[in-house]
Amino acid sequence: MIGFSVMDFFGIPSSINLSTERIIYRGLKVYIVESKGGAIVCMLLALIFLGTWPAILTLLERRGRLPQHTYLDYTITNLLAAVIIALTFGEIGKGTNDSPNFLTQLSQDNWPSVLFAMAGGVVLSLGNLSAQYAWAFVGLSVTQVITASITVVIGTTMNYFLDDKINKAEILFTGVGCFLAAVCLGSAVHASNAADNKEKLKNLPSGCIVGAEAMDVSMSKETITNNDKAKAGTAGFLIELENRRAIKVFGKSTLIGLAIAFFAGVSFSLFSPAFNLATNDQWHTLKEGVPHLSVYTTFFYFSVSCFVLAIILNITFLYHPVLNLPRSSLKAYLRDWNGRGWAFLAGFLCGFGNGLQFMGGEAAGYAAADAVQ
């Protein structure tokens, strides 16, 4: 027996015997994670997957790949992950009237729940797309602190009431308070970093032009690095990074990055409550006798809407780029294989990470699952 576990931290009753308690319900119904132990496993895997894919996309942007190209690749495999989950977990086992399998639910009259699921996918797509640009302006670590903390503060509070208060409020909201403090500290760190970088760039050689109007920040390698790679954090390193990266940030207001990060955080905070409403129908929008959407069917519709919006926005950004990015085209995108494999991997990681978070949320409550952020 476990005296203290991850579930204690999330405010879920513990004392779980992982060796004897069932992780997955096996029988006539579709496979569903129903035990606290299964929820722990799902959330730990989601923690790894969802903590990895942003670093991959940031790496590609810093290597000069256009974010529109990267996101188009990413969103393809992100949807593919949802399809794989739906056709495996959603189809294994014989469905029943109360718990139909994935393909059966596609033809049922469950559109109110489907619309909630698709709304969740829309806000997640907006959040991910915004975060991709915020990483360039604010930095990966600060952006993730701000967006994830806002997600937990707003999303966890909403899910706590949607979950009928199944989690321990005194533990759950103590954690929420810590995340709220993290939002403030993350904003302060960004302001400090921006001031520090500005001070480092004050004494640049005259050959280096930095400004809102001039984005050419080239200087000789000898001036920056003395033929060696610039040390991280130095002015030379910042110049090298600016020359190489796709999104140019020199000369732009520090408030731009914070505004994008906060918008992404608010968007992220809404997708989990929408998913919760889609699977559990707390507002009783389904007709009598219509079964609730399974987590797998919900995740499929959720991912489809996320995919469609991402495709529309990023194809638009190819021809009408934002933030002074260079113009591209579908033809140029299809020919750009530099980093495509990494973008595909990021999509799979995010897709499976989201799926595991939602599978854990079915067993442990979505308020607790939000802590994966």
Q: Estimate the share of the chain in helix, then strand, then coil, as percent rounded to the nearest 5.
A: 65, 0, 35
Q: Is residue 220 part of a domain?
A: no
φ, ψ (nearest 5 deg) of residue 24: -130, 135
**Is 4 within the bounds of a domain?**
no
Asked whether the beta carbons of 50 and 348 are under 8 A apart, the reply is no
Residue 253 lies in a domain: yes
220 and 230 Cβ atoms separated by less than 8 Å? no
Q: Are 158 and 275 in contact (CB under 8 A)?
A: no
Instruction: Give the chain's end-to-end CA distance (angstroms, integer).
Output: 27
- Which two structure tokens, joined as six digits, stand for 291? 């079964």
Can you give the pLDDT at residue 122?
Answer: 98
Task: Say what the pLDDT of residue 226 is.
Answer: 45
Q: Tell me if 137 sits within 8 A of 257, measured CB to CB.
A: yes
Residue 85 lies in a domain: yes
- Quickly count: other Cβ atoms within 10 Å of residue 113's Cβ: 25
The verdict on residue 30 lying in a domain is: no
pLDDT of residue 263: 96
Evaluate whether 246 touches 327 at the Cβ level (below 8 Å). no
The predicted structure's pLDDT at residue 204: 62
- Give a yes or no: residue 7 inside a domain: no
| DSSP string for 98-152 | SS--HHHHTTSS-HHHHHHHHHHHHHHHHHHHHHHHHHHHH-HHHHHHHHHHHII
The whole-number pLDDT of residue 177 equals: 78
> How buried is 365 (Cβ within 10 angstroms: 0-12 exposed, 13-18 middle, 19+ buried)?
buried
Query: What is residue 167's predicted lDDT score, i.e. its pLDDT?
Result: 63
- pLDDT tens for each residue of the chain, 373 residues long: 334 344 444 444 444 344 334 444 444 455 777 778 888 899 999 999 999 999 999 999 999 999 999 999 999 999 999 999 999 998 887 777 778 899 999 999 999 999 999 999 999 999 999 999 999 988 888 888 888 888 888 888 888 788 776 666 666 667 777 777 877 887 787 777 777 777 776 766 555 544 433 434 444 434 444 445 677 777 777 788 888 999 998 878 778 888 999 999 999 999 999 999 999 999 999 999 899 999 999 999 999 999 999 999 999 999 999 988 999 999 999 999 999 999 999 999 999 999 999 998 887 778 777 777 6
Nearest-5° Cα angle at 244, 124 to 208 = 125
- Cα–Cα dist 239/210, whole Å: 9
Longest dimension (CA), the chain: 74
How many beta carbons lie within 10 A of that of residue 81, not counting itself? 21
Give backbone dihedrals phi and psi of 33, rounded to 5 degrees, phi first.
Answer: -70, 120
Give the global pTM: 0.81
Whether residue 16 lies inside any domain: the answer is no
CB atoms within 10 A of CB 103: 13
Q: Could you tell me the residue range of the domain that residue 278 belongs to?
A: 36-205+231-372
Flag whether 217 is in a domain. no
* Number of folded domains that form the chain: 1
